[in-house]
A and B are shown apart, each in its own frame.
Chain A
Amino acid sequence: MADQPSNVAAVAGGIKKLLREEEDLQGGEDQTTKTTTEVVDESPFDPIERIKEGFNHFKINEYDKYPEYFEKLKEGQSPKFLVFACSDSRVSPSRILNFKPGEAFMARNIANMVPAFNQVRYSGVGAIIEYSVGVLEVETILVIGHSKCGGIKALLDLPDDGAVSNDFVDDWVKIGLPAKAKVKAEFGDKCLDEQQMHLEKEAVNLSLLNLLSYPYVQEGVARRNLKLMGGYYDFIQGTFELWGFKLEVMPPLTI
Chain B
Amino acid sequence: MAHAVLRSCSLSPLPRNSSSADLPTAPPASASPIFGSQFKLVGIEHTHGRFLNYFKDNFECFQNLAKGQAPKFMVIACADSRVCPSHILGFQPGEAFVVRNVANLVPPYENGPSETNAALEFAVNALEVEYILVVGHSFCGGIRALMSMQDKENSSSFIQSWVVVGKNARLSTKAAASNLDFEQQCRHCEKESINRSLLNLLTYPWIEEKVGRGLLSIHGGYYDFVDCTFEKWTLDYEETTMRKETGIYSLKDRETWS
Contacts and interface: CB of A to CB of B under 8 A. Distances in A.
A172 B79 contact: no
Interface in B30-69: 30-32, 34-35, 38-39, 41-44, 47-48, 50-52, 54-56, 59-69
B121 A106 contact: no
Contact of A242 (B13, B31, B82, B139): B31
The listed residue with most B CB atoms (<10 A of its CB), out of A126, A135, A227, A238, is: A238
A77 B140 CA distance: 11
Given A47-B131, A90-B94, A242-B28, A127 B81 contact: no
B203 to A, nearest CB: 13
Nearest to A42: B4
A130 B154 CA distance: 14
B3 A44 contact: yes
Interface residues of A, number: 106
B159 A127 contact: yes
Interface string B86-121: 111111111111111110000000000111111111
Contact of B98 (A44, A108, A242): A108
A99 B84 contact: yes
Nearest to A114: B115
A192 interface: no
A171 B122 CA distance: 12
B80 A105 contact: yes
B187 interface: no
B93 A95 contact: yes
Given A7-B61, A244-B31, A56 B84 contact: no
B31 A3 contact: no
Contacts of B44: 97, 242
B116 A124 contact: yes
Interface stretch (A20-28, A57-65, A181-189): A57-65
B256 to A, nearest CB: 11
B176 interface: no
Nearest to A7: B64
Nearest to B74: A87
Given A127-B101, A172-B118, A48 B42 contact: no
Contacts of B59: 238
A124 B41 contact: no
A18 B113 CA distance: 48
Contacts of A142: 42
Nearest to A67: B228
Interface string A103-140: 11111111001000001101111111111100100001
A54 B90 CA distance: 4
Contact of B79 (A15, A107, A241): A107
Interface string A1-22: 1111111101110110010000
Interface centre among B44, B61, B257 (most CB of A within 10 A): B44
Contacts of B56: 238
A175 B93 CA distance: 27
B145 to A, nearest CB: 8
B175 interface: no
The 3 closest A-B pairs by CB, nearest first: A54-B90, A3-B68, A126-B158
Interface of B: 1-6, 8-9, 13-14, 24, 27-28, 30-32, 34-35, 38-39, 41-44, 47-48, 50-52, 54-56, 59-73, 79-84, 86-102, 113-123, 125-128, 130-131, 133, 139, 141-142, 156-159, 161-163, 217, 219, 221, 225-226, 228, 230, 232, 253, 255, 257
Interface of A: 1-8, 10-12, 14-15, 18, 39-40, 42-48, 50-59, 61-64, 70, 73-74, 77, 79-80, 87-92, 94-110, 113, 119-120, 122-132, 135, 140, 142, 147-148, 150-151, 166-169, 171-173, 201, 227, 229, 235-236, 238, 240-244, 246
